[in-house]
Chain A
Amino acid sequence: MTQDETTTTPPAEALSAGGAVVREATPADAVGGRVPRYVARPPDTAAAAELLATAHRLGLATVMRGNGTASDWGAPPSRVDLVLETTALRSVEHAAGDLVVQVGAGTPLADLQTRLAAAGQRLTLDPLVAGGTVGGAVATGLSGPRRLLHGPLRDLIIGMTTVRADGVTASSGGRVVKNVAGYDLGKLHTGALGTLGLTTSVTFRLHPLPEALRIVSAEAPDAETAQRWTHAVLGSGAVPAAVELDSHQAGPLTLSVLLEGAEGGIGARAQAVAELMDGAAVAEGPPARWSTLPGNPDDTLLKISTPLGQVARAAHLVHEAARQQNTTAAVSGSAGAGVLFAALPTAAGAAAVDAVARGLRTALDGGVTVARTAPALADAELDRWGDVPGLELMRAVKQRFDPDRLLAPGRFAGGI
Chain B
Amino acid sequence: MPLPVTALIPRLREICGDDGVITDPNRRRTYESDGITYHAGTPGVVVLPTSTEQVAAVVRLCSESGVPFVPRGAGTGLSAGALPHSQGVLIVTSRMRRILEIDIANERAVVQPGVANLEVTRAAAPHGYYYAPDPSSQQVCSVGGNIAENSGGAHCLKYGFTVNHVTGLEVVTPQGETVRLGGKSADAPGYDLLGAFVGSEGTLGIATEITVRLLRAPQKVRTLLAAFESMDAGGAAVSAIISAGVLPAAVEMMDALSIEAAEAAVACDYPPGAGAVLIVELDGPAADVDAQFDHATQLCRDAGAFEIRTAADADERARIWKGRKSAFAAVGRISPAYIVQDGVVPRTALPEVLRRIAELSAESGIRVANVFHAGDGNLHPLVLFDDSAPEASEKAAEVSGKILDLCIEHGGSITGEHGVGVDKACQMPEMFSPADLETMDLFRSAFDPGGIANPEKLLPTPRLCGERPGVRKDVHPLVAEGTAEQF
Residues of B with C-beta under 8 A to A414:
190
Q: Are A188 and B188 in contact (CB under 8 A)?
A: no
From the candidates A177, A185, A237, A262, name the one contacting B219 in the complex (CB within 8 A).
A237
Within 8 A of B (CB), among A124-162: 141, 151-152, 154-155
Residues of B with C-beta under 8 A to A179:
344, 412-413, 415-416
Q: Contacts A178-B377, A231-B105 hold; do A262 and B412 have CB atoms under 8 A apart?
A: no
CA distance A308 to B106 in the complex (A): 5
Q: How far is the CB of B314 from chain A (nearest CB, A)?
A: 17
Q: How far is the CB of A361 from chain B (nearest CB, A)?
A: 10
Q: How far is the CB of B352 from chain A (nearest CB, A)?
A: 12
CA distance A181 to B218 in the complex (A): 31
Q: How far is the CB of B379 from chain A (nearest CB, A)?
A: 10
Q: Are A385 and B243 in contact (CB under 8 A)?
A: no
Report if B117 contacts A (CB, 8 A): no
Q: What interface size band does chain A fall in? A: 35 or more
Within 8 A of B (CB), among A254-269: 261-266, 268-269
Q: How far is the CB of B120 from chain A (nearest CB, A)?
A: 18
Report if B18 contacts A (CB, 8 A): no
Residues of A with C-beta under 8 A to B419:
180
Report if B125 contacts A (CB, 8 A): no
Q: How far is the CB of A311 from chain B (nearest CB, A)?
A: 9
Report if A279 contacts B (CB, 8 A): no
Q: Are B105 and A309 in contact (CB under 8 A)?
A: yes
Report if A168 contacts B (CB, 8 A): yes
Q: How far is the CB of A140 from chain B (nearest CB, A)?
A: 12
Residues of A with C-beta under 8 A to B449:
396
Report if B255 contacts A (CB, 8 A): no
Residues of B with C-beta under 8 A to A155:
160, 163-164
Nearest B residue (CB) for A337: B186
From the candidates B189, B433, B446, name the one contacting A171 in the complex (CB within 8 A).
B433
Residues of A with C-beta under 8 A to B433:
170-171
Q: Are A386 and B189 in contact (CB under 8 A)?
A: yes
A378-416 vs B: 1/0 string, CB under 8 Å? 000000011011111110110111000000000011100
Residues of A with C-beta under 8 A to B443:
183, 185, 188, 397, 400-401
Q: How far is the CB of A19 from chain B (nearest CB, A)?
A: 20
CA distance A414 to B193 in the complex (A): 15
CA distance A169 to B419 in the complex (A): 24
Q: Are B377 and A184 in contact (CB under 8 A)?
A: no
Report if A347 contacts B (CB, 8 A): no
Residues of A with C-beta under 8 A to B284:
239, 261
Q: Are B285 and A96 in contact (CB under 8 A)?
A: no
Q: Are B436 and A176 in contact (CB under 8 A)?
A: no
B402-436 vs A: 1/0 string, CB under 8 Å? 00000000011111111110001000100111011
Residues of A with C-beta under 8 A to B180:
389-390
CA distance A178 to B378 in the complex (A): 7
Q: Contacts A178-B156, A183-B196 hold; do A261 and B285 have CB atoms under 8 A apart?
A: yes
B105-116 vs A: 1/0 string, CB under 8 Å? 111100000000
Report if A306 contacts B (CB, 8 A): yes
Q: Are B199 and A152 in contact (CB under 8 A)?
A: no
Interface core residue of B190, B286, B431 (most chain A CB under 10 Å): B190
Residues of B with C-beta under 8 A to A181:
413-415, 420, 424, 428, 431-432
Stretch in contact with the other chain, from B4-12, B85-93, B288-296: B288-296
Report if A95 contacts B (CB, 8 A): yes
Q: Are B190 and A391 in contact (CB under 8 A)?
A: yes
Q: Are A305 and B186 in contact (CB under 8 A)?
A: yes
Residues of B with C-beta under 8 A to A268:
287
Q: Are A413 and B196 in contact (CB under 8 A)?
A: no
Report if A349 contacts B (CB, 8 A): no
Residues of B with C-beta under 8 A to A266:
287
Q: Are B287 and A264 in contact (CB under 8 A)?
A: yes
Q: How far is the CB of B222 from chain A (nearest CB, A)?
A: 13
Report if A367 contacts B (CB, 8 A): yes
Residues of B with C-beta under 8 A to A276:
none
B348-385 vs A: 1/0 string, CB under 8 Å? 10000000000000000000000001001110000000
Nearest A residue (CB) for B201: A180
Report if B150 contacts A (CB, 8 A): yes
Report if B39 contacts A (CB, 8 A): no
Nearest B residue (CB) for A311: B185
Report if B335 contacts A (CB, 8 A): no
Report if B347 contacts A (CB, 8 A): yes
Q: Are B192 and A154 in contact (CB under 8 A)?
A: yes
Q: Are B185 and A307 in contact (CB under 8 A)?
A: yes
Report if B440 contacts A (CB, 8 A): yes
Nearest A residue (CB) for B217: A237
Residues of B with C-beta under 8 A to A184:
150, 163, 195-196, 198-199
From the candidates A235, A308, A389, name the one contacting B128 in the complex (CB within 8 A).
A235
Residues of B with C-beta under 8 A to A188:
191-193, 195-196, 443
Report if A120 contacts B (CB, 8 A): yes
Residues of B with C-beta under 8 A to A152:
186-187
CA distance A177 to B107 in the complex (A): 26
Q: Contacts A174-B431, A261-B288, A389-B180 hold; do A183 and B440 have CB atoms under 8 A apart?
A: yes
Residues of B with C-beta under 8 A to A183:
196, 199-200, 440, 443-444, 458
Top-3 shortest CB links A-B: A265-B287, A208-B245, A187-B195
Known: A175-B346, A177-B377, A234-B216. 4 other contacts (CB 8 A): A182-B440, A182-B458, A185-B443, A239-B285
Residues of chain B having any CB pair with chain A under 8 Å: 103-108, 128, 149-150, 152, 156, 160-161, 163-164, 173, 177, 179-181, 183-193, 195-196, 198-200, 216-219, 239, 242-247, 284-288, 290-292, 344-348, 373, 376-378, 411-420, 424, 428, 431-433, 435-440, 442-447, 449, 458-459
**Sample (30) of A-B pairs whose CB atoms are under 8 Å apart:** A152-B186, A155-B160, A170-B438, A176-B346, A180-B199, A181-B420, A182-B436, A182-B440, A183-B200, A185-B440, A185-B443, A191-B191, A192-B191, A208-B244, A235-B104, A237-B217, A237-B219, A238-B285, A262-B287, A262-B292, A365-B183, A366-B183, A390-B179, A390-B191, A392-B179, A393-B173, A396-B446, A397-B443, A399-B446, A413-B189
